[in-house]
Amino acid sequence: MTFIKTIYLGNLRTEAEHLDSGSKLITSAPKDNNGDGLLFSPTDLFATSLGSCMLTIIGMTARTYGFNIDGTTITTEKIMGTNPRRVVELRLDIKFPEGMEYSQKEKTLIINSAKTCPVANSIDPAIKKVVNFIW
């Protein structure tokens, strides 16, 4: 089990602590919702969790099958909707390091593992997910 303790700091900011490790992060409201936008917003973390989960699961697959994804990046675009205010779409570009060559089998493993990560499986199907693999 993972336990996280979150406290409201005031000024539209929160601090979350991962109780097992003591690691902390602070959020602030985004500019388009009364905040200063100087830190990750809660919906930024939601979007970020998908990319982080995908990279983690791809990394596990790479380790299992003996190939390398070190240096791979994901750029995530979060699109917000209204009535109610919510995330309506996530666009992710997964870019693999230049010079890395992957076999068709490795590419298939990468694609399948990215799309089946636990966060992807937890996101409501109404939220559109567009994933672009840049080899």
Other Cβ atoms less than 10 A from the Cβ of 51: the count is 21
Other Cβ atoms less than 10 A from the Cβ of 28: the count is 19
Strands (E), the chain: 4-10, 13-18, 24-28, 73-81, 86-95, 128-134
Whether 76 and 14 map to the same domain: the answer is no
Q: Look up the domain containing 11 and give its range.
A: 4-33
Whether 27 and 48 map to the same domain: the answer is no
> Using one digit for the tens of pLDDT, what is the confidence trace for 4-43?
999 999 999 999 999 999 999 999 999 999 999 999 999 9
> Using one digit for the tens of pLDDT, what is the confidence trace for 76-86?
999 999 999 99
Instruction: Tell if the pTM clears 0.75, that is, is over it.
Output: yes
Whether 27 and 47 map to the same domain: the answer is no
Q: Is 122 within 8 Å of 90 (Cβ atoms)?
A: no
Q: Is 78 within 8 Å of 44 (Cβ atoms)?
A: yes
Number of domains in the chain: 2
